[in-house]
Structure 1
Amino acid sequence: MENSWNPERERVKQYRESIGWKKWGPYLTERQWGTVREDYSASGSAWEFVSHDMARSRAYRWGEEGIAGISDNKSLLCFALALWNGKDPILKERLYGLSGNEGNHGEDCKELYYYLDNTPSHSYMKMLYKYPQRAFPYSKIVEENGKRTKADPEYEILETGVFDDDRYYDVFIEYAKADKEDILVKISITNRGADHCRLTVLPTIWLRNTWSWDSKSFKPSMQAVSNDEISINYRRDKTFHLYAENHRRFLFCDNETNYKRLYNFANSTTYCKDGINDYIVEGKNETVNFKDGTKASAFYELDFAPGETKVIKLRLSDKPHHGAFDEFDDIFGLRLNEADAFYKDLQKNVLDPELRMIQRQSYAGMLWSKQFYYFNVNQWLEGDPGQPAPPEERKYKRNSQWRHLSNSNIISMPDKWEYPWYAAWDLAFHCVPLARLDPNFAKRQLVVLLREYYMHPNGQIPAYEWNFSDVNPPVHAWAAHKVYQIDKEFTGKGDYDFLEKVLHKLLLNFTWWVNQKDISGNNIFEGGFLGLDNIGVFDRSQKLPTGGYLEQADGTSWMAMYSLNLLKISTELAMVKPVYQDLATKFFEHFLYIAGAITNIAGQGISLWDNEEEFFYDVLHKPEGESIPMKIRSMVGLIPMFAVETIEPEMVSDLPDFKRRLEWVLENRPDLSVLISRWYEAGKGETRLLSLLRGARLKNLLQRALDEKEFLSDYGIRALSKYHKDKPYEIKVNDNLFSVSYLPGESDSKLFGGNSNWRGPIWFPVNFLLIESLNKFYHYFGDDYKVEYPVNSGNLLSLNEIAHHLGDRLIKLFTMNAEGKRPVFGNVDKLNKDPNFKDYILFYEYFHGDSGKGLGASHQTGWTGLVSELISQKYEFMNRKKG
């Protein structure tokens, strides 16, 4: 039963996504520089066209960035924090990191910051940024990483010594809404060092530059109306007010490019975007004014004793206030109490305080990672009126086939610094934990990517802005049904309109897959990249060095899973609209044909299942006709487990047309019916099972997956078997030797570009799907079906017990172990032992296959936020056991 007092839960129920309490939120990206959107180069060199050094001086076209920033839902009016320690060569206005070409393992943020709290309506938010008192080691980071190779680890900020002796500031940024567009800001800064020190603090408000690209656009403005208030002409019909308490004065400049600094052209304004930076750091009085502009900072100079904390208060409101800070502390206290009540209800079954803390921080990361994403590809390719025309060759290169794409929405990002653009399959996983927080937002996220201004007219879902045409695993249907189920748990009724809307669009996408990714028309799929770039011997997105093509075990299995997901959605809808029985039958037949093709490709006697090694492998078809199984023991061979679904008895008895057609197919195609697992043998509770794994194949795969000498790590399932540590897979092509060996951490290969690091490490999406699949198998088999876990241990467990233990291994990445360390932090003492670090959790992109150390993007709470769902499932399992 829910708590009687839960205002935040009521807000979640009452508003639509784009209005009301969610009009304002953490919608600023953390990196706009180095993105494809801002790249107008001929060569597509996005990292260099607008670099970090250029960012302070160039007005952006498609978005804005900031530290702990907020904005309205179109990022027209933005607020963020800037700092200066008196030693840095520039203001700390944006988070720093290495570009994809500078980092020895790709793009790499080099800052320490933490998402600590957030509510779905963003009524209360809290974030921590750790700012060194020494000069930030910009050049040292670049130089050291320049010396390192792919075989070396990344050079981390704590290794530079800049945080030694605790010479840094803890900067806590909190927001509390007094009303929908009335936002209180509290900045609490603590000197963690042993010396007296001085810090310049510059809370900054600015207007996104829309006027430079469209001369007909309304040009907003800001004016100081008193020493404590700025009036902001936000839109023609909207005025905002910024109040700052106890600051020196307001500093103004314009959100306009400093053409003189960047390109040696004349400037259009005296006060350019970098004017406040130049005034503070370089003492140039002429670069700011104190009256008006389109960018402004409240100017604070604070002196700190050792250990001292000081608090700055501001208020950004759509209403004028006399006594803007009179009720400030009371409002903050109320919103924090409401946040606590919301999470107390949401986490009522999570009894362990440490797990509640980890889960709440993971939820905070999910909510902080929302971003306003704006990109019109046709406008980007053609250029803007009144601006220099982009190089002609751009029109035929990156994303030139996506001219229809016009995005302007709040979207869940993988990581707002390293991946500040949506990724279709990442987003599908994000929506599962988001559905616990805000089911309407999660449903809207899944729908928006299927809209006509996202989805290609041919039915392809855009992958990500570096290459919208790349191919992600088709998990949208799985996510939609999962979100539907979670929403139904909360409301007690199914949102059939949502399922129906998603299904109609996914029919287009399913058809695209069938038409575009089945080269030979034999129900075997060649998806290419599919998120598993670095565990293959070749780059599957490029032409093979051997010629020919690959028949992909994972691509084919993803499509089998997709068929079953759409079958499940169709049967769900058919229970209320019987017309969907025909679609259910269609997807059942697709699944059958894929099952047949995996075992016998086009009737040629070639199978993706290797009887000798009892594992699934890709098959390489060479131009001369030779077929070679690519015997790499990787996640590719485990993904067939994901293609599993159970059909409840009422769905068979209550859907007569579906039942009749299904039985006809099974009787008239016995060659196919024997391939799917146990349709005619009712399982627990008369449940029916559909799976690619008939007979002993499930146990064969689990024999490898649950072996600690192969896939099973202390912290989950590895992407590549440890078997390849001593026995690399090798293939020779034209006197060139290609190989794959087990690497538990970062990749040592440049073959796949960027930060492709998927050899060996543990990553949450596939681990989560494996756990989901084991629970589905258990739903059919029940307690009588037991498997040894771990292999050679002598312990026989049911599949849901194994799923529970795998979830625990993943959760264990973040919990304190017997040595007083969190595996995610590796052996870094400061992160593990320091009271001002050890309980601030980072949710990395992936994890070391042996030690569990966090690797890759440090704030990819998106799919790693699935740990919150695993924590909930842990307690559901424990309660069922007790019951």
Structure 2
Amino acid sequence: MINEKKSAEVDNAEQTRLEQSRRKEKHWKRWGPYLSERAWGTVREDYSVNGTAWDSFPHDHARSRAYRWNEDGLGGICDNHQNLCFALALWNGHDPIVKERLFGLTGSQGNHGEDVKEYYFYVDSTPTHSYMKFLYKYPQSAFPYNELVSENARRGKHEPEFELLDTGVFDEDRYFDVQVEYAKADVDDIAIRITITNRGTEAASLDVLPTLWFRNTWSWNGGEEVPQIRVAKNKSGRSQFLARKAEFDSYGLSFEGSPDLLFTENETNYERLYGSSNRSFTKDGINDVVVNGRMQAVNPENRGSKAAARYRVDLQGGQSTVLRLRLTRDNGLTDAFEGFDAIFQARVSEADDYYAAIIPAELNDDERNVMRQSLAGLLWSKQFYHYVIKEWLEGDPKQPPPPSERNTGRNSRWGHLYNADVLSMPDKWEYPWFAAWDLAFHCVALSIVDADFAKSQLSLTLREWYMHPNGQLPAYEWAFGDVNPPVHAWAVWRVYRIEERRRGSGDLIFLESAFHKLLLNFTWWVNQKDADGLNVFEGGFLGLDNIGVFDRSSPLPVAGLIEQSDGTSWMAMYTLNMLTIASELARYNPAYEDVASKFWEHFLYIAHAMTHICVDGKGLWDSEDGFFYDVLYSKSSDWERMKVRSLVGLTPLFAVDTLESADLDRMPDFTRRLNWFVKNRPDLTSNVARMHGGQNDRLLLSIIDEERLRAILRFMLDENEFLSPYGVRALSRTHLESPYIKHVGDTEYRVDYEPAESTSGLFGGNSNWRGPIWFPMNYLIIESLQKYHFYYGDNFKVECPTGSGTLMTLAQVSVELSNRLSAIFLKNEAGRRPVYGSIEKFQRDPHWKDLLLFFEYFHGDHGAGVGASHQTGWTGLVAKLLQQSGGQKSVASTHR
């Protein structure tokens, strides 16, 4: 319900391209940034006995071993089926290998889990990718691979991570800025501009190798012709790469100047990796020529499935140079570089026009920069994701069979899953696979710029080749059977409403189709996660990693179960989301009134169970504290309320919605059923639904009554508890001095306040829910407060912060939280961005300070970015908050 200012679609060139794409008149999205930043170390490429993905395919193999499922590259693009790929490769003359892909530590190498050790930025992109900009910072001295590995191995979990800046390779600005831009002259005509700048003061040289290659689709099943790239002349007589593959359009890559042309095959180097004979030229042949001068490593006949144009760039200190290339279909251009600069000028101007219509004019320059880069990060984080589990389980005809353990191991019950789509990734290096609940938040932010893509993503995960036949949604690659919070229905409704406000009408076909699939998923939850049929849900992992006392993805160390405050709250929220969608569909088909009634009743049962079920007074609600806690129930009928004050106890806030009196008037059957419950089941309705008294005679549906709402907010808005200067913490700060400790036998389990990286190895590697600030949960808190305000109005006020004496309405509290979250990225009075903490290079250097990284989560006390550095995914919600902020400024200006 985050406030949105209604706006008509603005007629500009990028919007026209989106409309052409939506109507399938022109396939503007055929080419995009769909190349992963990392394909090694993934579950897909893991064919080991024990499922040790990081070790099965390490970074050291990546340059020499053909990928089975996906390709990766540096600042690259590919078509939407990843037949043909283009990316940069670089060599500074000192590195032991060519820089073809981003380096980072594996889950076991990093002292806080996996961690990319590079500096790269998604600077800009339009939704059709008609214009894109990517920046990579490449040291001029040898890249410190070994130092990064050894020093992080030496450090423990209580020490900070050792980063690339810490090695000194960027001292005195001894690095290159390598910027690649893409501008589409047409659907299959892409101008490529590479700008290299020597940021140092001394002369330095760089090999730049724009590389074109085919994804290896021929080495696995047999019978497929190997595609070929060769030298050809275009119509203007220039040399170019001509790439041809059966049942795929031919493409030409033209380049200026006279670079050396190097050709090899995208095949595994069996000699290097396994000590056996090679069957052809190999994937790392170009690397061997550049680094070791082994000309015999490439094909002298100038053909292969992988090719690079090698430029030698010599730059004085501060000097820049530009390389120009053009990728086109069918070798159709008379002169590839005629009008080249005009294409870029037009697309940059059109991108500015497009975002001028998206980003509120009331935002200042810094706010506009943050919002635009967050959206660019979301758009750059698309990836062609390929993983056919049946084939992965059974193996390929031309390859050794997988170990037998695979048949009962990871994802073995998901043989129906067939992934071969462009998907929104949480992070294309650290999380280069889709995650169900991450994706829901991505789509809400993406709907600002491309509602069609957002809808397609939500619809895709509900299709039969994704959703399990039993109705479960796939969680994420490492364990598709894990359970994430059921936020899909919420996202479907939010995307529907955002598009409706922008276009003037909602997509009912999308909404109805998604609703029918969500019914299957809802039924799975009811059947699988309510062990005793009491409408109290266990859920398990629920994506919150180490937030609990025990590892929620593993069996309990005691015989019994945990009745989860958050699991039950998520399901109450789910019922209300489904009720809302059913009510909307009932506008057009009265049959949905019965379905709405079903979810109304189900909500009452869940809400009643959560607020009333207890044994000997030990339920989820603690009346003395005024807070919700998980309850541990052992088989000996021993109940224990586990008093960890965390987001688990705030999730009941999410189960809230309102119904308008007009909604009830147009749904007579639903209203009769509702009134019957009010009259005959006051035990269910008295404390969980307000039937009158709200603003404009609204009906409130909520787990939490007014007394409990005030009690919870007292904790949430206390700066000594949950409220940070930068949002709501995942764990109360009181646990800094008073950790929660639970003994099971001789084993101590504890929960301490940890505002940054996790200091334990308990699930999640580099993820931590014991104190930091997470955007998705904060976003839902803000939205929930707005819904409560929608009912209670301006007369309901609370102290914010608690104890300050300052009274705010819930709408004002939501604005305060939104501003605190946005402040993470914005320059403060001292000109510093909290997201970068004490990193002076990012705070002061003119070539760094306005480049944004959107981290996985943020330090609970000072807002510094933590975890995955490019997890724009759900952190991209900051764009929605800033858009809302602009609307509020506009209203304030009007009122003045």
Amino acid at match of 1:276: I
Q: Is residue 267 of structure 1 aligned with residue 274 of structure 2?
A: no
Question: Is 232-241 or 74-83 further displaced after alignment?
Answer: 232-241
Q: Is residue 183 of structure 1 aligned with residue 200 of structure 2?
A: no
Which of 803, 815, 830 pairs up with 2:814?
803
Q: Structure 1 residues 845, 668: CA separation in 2 closer, same or farther (over 3 Å shift)?
A: same
The DSSP-based 3-state class of the residue aligned with 1:697 is helix
Give the aligned partner of residue 252 of structure 1.
Answer: 263
Q: Percent identity?
A: 55
Preserved contact between residue 17 and residue 440 of structure 1 (Cα < 8 Å): no
The DSSP-based 3-state class of the residue aligned with 2:619 is coil
CA–CA distance in structure 2, aligned partners of residues 512 and 5 of structure 1: 44
Amino acid at match of 2:303: D
CA–CA distance in structure 2, aligned partners of residues 880 and 556 of structure 1: 38
Give the aligned partner of residue 221 of structure 1.
Answer: 228
Give the aligned partner of residue 44 of structure 1.
Answer: 51
CA–CA distance in structure 2, aligned partners of residues 538 and 4 of structure 1: 51
Which of 386, 393, 396 pairs up with 1:381?
393
Q: Structure 1 residues 388, 570: CA separation in 2 closer, same or farther (over 3 Å shift)?
A: same
User: Over residues 198-240 of structure 1, what are the superposed CA-to-partner deviations in whole Å (9 max), with x where a residue is unaligned?
Assistant: 1000000000011111222243111111462111113335211
User: Over residues 312-332 of structure 1, what are the superposed CA-to-partner deviations in whole Å (9 max), with x where a residue is unaligned?
Assistant: 011110032221111100011
Instruction: Point out where structure 2 has 5 or more consecutive residues left out of the alignment.
Output: 1-6
Q: Structure 1 residues 536, 599: CA separation in 2 closer, same or farther (over 3 Å shift)?
A: same
CA–CA distance in structure 2, aligned partners of residues 834 and 35 of structure 1: 35
Q: Is residue 875 of structure 1 aligned with residue 881 of structure 2?
A: no
Question: Is 659-668 or 26-35 further displaced after alignment?
Answer: 659-668
Give the aligned partner of residue 551 of structure 2.
Answer: 539
Give the aligned partner of residue 208 of structure 2.
Answer: 201
Q: Is residue 415 of structure 1 aligned with residue 422 of structure 2?
A: no
Preserved contact between residue 259 and residue 309 of structure 2 (Cα < 8 Å): yes
The DSSP-based 3-state class of the residue aligned with 2:742 is strand
Give the aligned partner of residue 839 of structure 1.
Answer: 850
CA–CA distance in structure 1, aligned partners of residues 250 and 886 of structure 2: 49
Give the aligned partner of residue 3 of structure 2.
Answer: none
Q: Is residue 360 of structure 1 aligned with residue 372 of structure 2?
A: yes
Q: What displacement does 1:636 show?
A: 0.3
Preserved contact between residue 123 and residue 377 of structure 2 (Cα < 8 Å): yes
Preserved contact between residue 17 and residue 441 of structure 1 (Cα < 8 Å): no
Preserved contact between residue 856 and residue 875 of structure 2 (Cα < 8 Å): yes
Q: What displacement does 1:796 show?
A: 0.6
Q: What displacement does 1:348 show?
A: 3.7
TM-score normalised to the size of structure 1? 0.98
Preserved contact between residue 428 and residue 475 of structure 1 (Cα < 8 Å): yes
Preserved contact between residue 745 and residue 855 of structure 1 (Cα < 8 Å): yes
Q: Is residue 501 of structure 1 aligned with residue 533 of structure 2?
A: no
Paired residues in the alignment total 881
Give the aligned partner of residue 587 of structure 1.
Answer: 599
Give the aligned partner of residue 494 of structure 2.
Answer: 482
Matches within 5 A, 1:290-689: 290=300, 291-320=302-331, 321-601=333-613, 606-678=618-690, 680-689=691-700
Q: Is residue 34 of structure 1 aligned with residue 41 of structure 2?
A: yes
The DSSP-based 3-state class of the residue aligned with 2:209 is strand
Give the aligned partner of residue 112 of structure 1.
Answer: 119
Which of 768, 771, 778 pairs up with 2:782?
771
The DSSP-based 3-state class of the residue aligned with 2:447 is helix
Q: Is residue 66 of structure 1 aligned with residue 77 of structure 2?
A: no
Matches within 5 A, 1:717-796: 717-796=728-807
CA–CA distance in structure 2, aligned partners of residues 792 and 595 of structure 1: 30
CA–CA distance in structure 1, aligned partners of residues 23 and 478 of structure 2: 27
Instruction: Point out where structure 1 has 5 or more consecutive residues left out of the alignment.
Output: none
CA RMSD of aligned residues (A): 1.3
Q: What displacement does 1:755 show?
A: 2.1
Preserved contact between residue 362 and residue 889 of structure 2 (Cα < 8 Å): no
Give the aligned partner of residue 217 of structure 2.
Answer: 210
CA–CA distance in structure 2, aligned partners of residues 824 and 753 of structure 1: 22
Preserved contact between residue 800 and residue 807 of structure 2 (Cα < 8 Å): yes
CA–CA distance in structure 1, aligned partners of residues 673 and 275 of structure 2: 73
CA–CA distance in structure 2, aligned partners of residues 88 and 604 of structure 1: 68
CA–CA distance in structure 2, aligned partners of residues 248 and 867 of structure 1: 43
CA–CA distance in structure 2, aligned partners of residues 53 and 407 of structure 1: 27
Q: Is residue 287 of structure 1 aligned with residue 297 of structure 2?
A: yes
User: Over residues 771-794 of structure 1, what are the superposed CA-to-partner deviations in whole Å (9 max), with x where a residue is unaligned?
Assistant: 000011111111111111100111
User: Over residues 750-788 of structure 1, what are the superposed CA-to-partner deviations in whole Å (9 max), with x where a residue is unaligned?
Assistant: 122522312100010000000000011111111111111
CA–CA distance in structure 2, aligned partners of residues 372 and 243 of structure 1: 25
Amino acid at match of 1:9: Q
CA–CA distance in structure 2, aligned partners of residues 828 and 757 of structure 1: 21
Q: Structure 1 residues 101, 615: CA separation in 2 closer, same or farther (over 3 Å shift)?
A: same
Q: What displacement does 1:682 show?
A: 3.4
CA–CA distance in structure 1, aligned partners of residues 543 and 723 of structure 2: 20
CA–CA distance in structure 2, aligned partners of residues 597 and 603 of structure 1: 12
TM-score normalised to the size of structure 2? 0.97
CA–CA distance in structure 2, aligned partners of residues 743 and 731 of structure 1: 18
CA–CA distance in structure 1, aligned partners of residues 311 and 23 of structure 2: 36
Preserved contact between residue 220 and residue 396 of structure 2 (Cα < 8 Å): yes
CA–CA distance in structure 2, aligned partners of residues 737 and 655 of structure 1: 55
Q: Is residue 84 of structure 1 aligned with residue 91 of structure 2?
A: yes
Q: Is residue 696 of structure 1 aligned with residue 707 of structure 2?
A: yes
CA–CA distance in structure 1, aligned partners of residues 11 and 681 of structure 2: 58
Q: Structure 1 residues 348, 816: CA separation in 2 closer, same or farther (over 3 Å shift)?
A: closer
Amino acid at match of 1:181: D
Preserved contact between residue 9 and residue 503 of structure 2 (Cα < 8 Å): no
Q: What displacement does 1:2 show?
A: 6.2
CA–CA distance in structure 2, aligned partners of residues 511 and 3 of structure 1: 38
Q: Is residue 855 of structure 1 aligned with residue 869 of structure 2?
A: no
CA–CA distance in structure 1, aligned partners of residues 204 and 607 of structure 2: 68
Q: What displacement does 1:591 show?
A: 0.6
Preserved contact between residue 197 and residue 305 of structure 1 (Cα < 8 Å): yes
Amino acid at match of 1:427: L
Q: What displacement does 1:606 show?
A: 4.0
Q: Is residue 14 of structure 1 aligned with residue 20 of structure 2?
A: yes
Q: What displacement does 1:603 show?
A: 7.8
Amino acid at match of 1:599: T
The DSSP-based 3-state class of the residue aligned with 1:30 is coil
Amino acid at match of 1:171: V
Preserved contact between residue 3 and residue 341 of structure 1 (Cα < 8 Å): no
The DSSP-based 3-state class of the residue aligned with 1:425 is helix
Amino acid at match of 1:128: L
CA–CA distance in structure 2, aligned partners of residues 398 and 164 of structure 1: 45
Q: Structure 1 residues 501, 186: CA separation in 2 closer, same or farther (over 3 Å shift)?
A: same
CA–CA distance in structure 1, aligned partners of residues 704 and 230 of structure 2: 68
Amino acid at match of 2:535: N
Q: What displacement does 1:877 show?
A: 2.5
CA–CA distance in structure 2, aligned partners of residues 13 and 669 of structure 1: 51
Q: Structure 1 residues 874, 617: CA separation in 2 closer, same or farther (over 3 Å shift)?
A: same
Preserved contact between residue 234 and residue 240 of structure 1 (Cα < 8 Å): no
The DSSP-based 3-state class of the residue aligned with 1:22 is coil
The DSSP-based 3-state class of the residue aligned with 1:558 is helix
Q: What displacement does 1:32 show?
A: 0.2
Preserved contact between residue 548 and residue 621 of structure 1 (Cα < 8 Å): yes
CA–CA distance in structure 1, aligned partners of residues 371 and 763 of structure 2: 33
CA–CA distance in structure 1, aligned partners of residues 840 and 249 of structure 2: 51
User: Over residues 166-214 of structure 1, what are the superposed CA-to-partner deviations in whole Å (9 max), with x where a residue is unaligned?
Assistant: 0000011100001001111000000000111110000000000111112
User: Over residues 598-654 of structure 1, what are the superposed CA-to-partner deviations in whole Å (9 max), with x where a residue is unaligned?
Assistant: 123278754200011110000001121100000000000000000000111211000
